[in-house]
Structure 1
Amino acid sequence: MTQSAVLETELAPYFTTKAPFQFPVDFREGFVKYWPIVSLVLLILALPAVVAFLGISAAFVPVSFMAGADIGLGYTIAMILTLAKTVLGGIALPGLFNRKRQGWVFSYYAQLLGILISVFSVSVIGILLGLLFLMLLFQVRDYYN
């Protein structure tokens, strides 16, 4: 048996057996087949934006603290988490292409960070979409070994 990722055992029932709905098998198989390609394309398209984001963010960090320590700290944390999520998404690609569990685990961690970013950004839509994607990830977990 493989070792569980952080919170995987606790969250799994809520996104699989206790989930409000199950994604159709055809959809799950299509997701597993095409998600690595879509993820790679999105990562390539995001790289220039991430580089620009880091440059602009570095300039705005001091200014963000002028609005208050809580806003500046929240902005800085969101910036760091976004960078970590992007790196995890890139690290997950080889495992996703080869349907290895490690690829799923890195995608899972990236998704958890994405939800955390949405919480820091107070984005209800981001939180809901993140939870929906996390449910999909749990429902395709068995495809990765």
Structure 2
Amino acid sequence: MAQQLILEEELASLFSEKALIQLPQNYRLALVRYGPLVASILFPIALVAVLAGSGSTGFLSLTLNLEGSLGTLLLILSLLTGISALPGLFYRRRSSWSRLYWAGLLYSLSAIVTMDFGGLLLTFAVGFYLLFQIRSYYNK
């Protein structure tokens, strides 16, 4: 298996082995098969929305709101990391799963910086749960 990422072992025990609810095998397979298709539509739409929203207030936010600027930058980096993972997801590559993991961590950091605790909770409760439930499929 590939080298462990930062916090991967700790999160894996929380979201895969110790998870109260394990996804059935057919649900996991459906996520692996159709998730990249859905993500290839939603990631670019989200990136355009964030860039359009931050572009209109970009100059003001850079000068007046440091935490908002840093949060937006981390969010854009998260989306770009997720988009870069898309080609390998179709081939079930471990490196693409790792990029999605990093995208989740970047988004979590963005949520912490901007104090978006609802987004942070959703990323951890849903995003990482699903990500770690399908981790075993990405081993190439």
Decide: shared fold, TM above 0.5.
yes
* Percent of residue pairs identical: 38
Deviation of 1:47 (Å): 3.9
**Larger CA deviation: 36-45 vs 20-29:** 20-29
For residues 130-145 of structure 1, what are the structure 2 equivalents within 5 Å? 130-131=123-124, 132-145=126-139
Amino acid of the structure 2 residue aligned with 1:118: A
Q: Which of 104, 120, 133 is 1:127 aligned to?
A: 120
Deviation of 1:62 (Å): 4.5
* Runs (5+) with no aligned partner, structure 1: 66-71
In structure 2, the partner of 1:13 is 13
| Contact 1:104/1:144, CA 8 A, preserved across alignment | yes
Q: Which runs of 4+ in 1 moved over 4 A?
A: none
Cα distance 1:33–1:75, how it changes in 2: closer, same or farther (>3 A)? same
Distance 1:44 1:141 in 2: 23
Amino acid of the structure 2 residue aligned with 1:24: P
Cα distance 1:62–1:86, how it changes in 2: closer, same or farther (>3 A)? closer
RMSD: 1.7
Q: Normalising by structure 1, report the TM-score.
A: 0.85
* Bigger Cα Rg: 1
**Is the partner of 1:16 in helix, strand or coil?**
helix
Deviation of 1:98 (Å): 0.8
* Runs (5+) with no aligned partner, structure 2: none
**Larger CA deviation: 73-82 vs 44-53:** 44-53
1:108 counterpart = 2:101: yes
How many residues align? The count is 138
| Contact 1:15/1:138, CA 8 A, preserved across alignment | yes
In structure 2, the partner of 1:77 is 70
